[in-house]
Amino acid sequence: MVTGVMRTQIVAAHALSLGATVVTDNTRAFAREPGLALENWLQR
């Protein structure tokens, strides 16, 4: 079974492997991943 934390880690690992930026409103969940580029397009 894949949990929410595991999904976050899978998305983060994939983005890191591609050198991509993750666009999310849930930056707190992804902030645990070192070196991951994050953007929140909903933030004002």
**Digit-coded pLDDT (tens) for 1-44:** 878 889 999 999 999 999 999 999 999 999 999 999 999 999 86
The span from the CA of 35 to the CA of 4, in Å, is 20
CA distances from 32 to 6, 27, 44 (A): 12, 9, 22
* pLDDT reported for residue 3: 84
pLDDT at 27: 93
Query: Under a CB-based contact definition with an 8 Å cutoff, are residues 25 and 4 in contact?
Result: no
Q: How far apart are CA 1 and CA 36, in angstroms?
A: 25
Give the pLDDT score at 1: 80
**What pLDDT score was predicted for residue 43?**
85
Domain map of the chain by residue range? 4-39
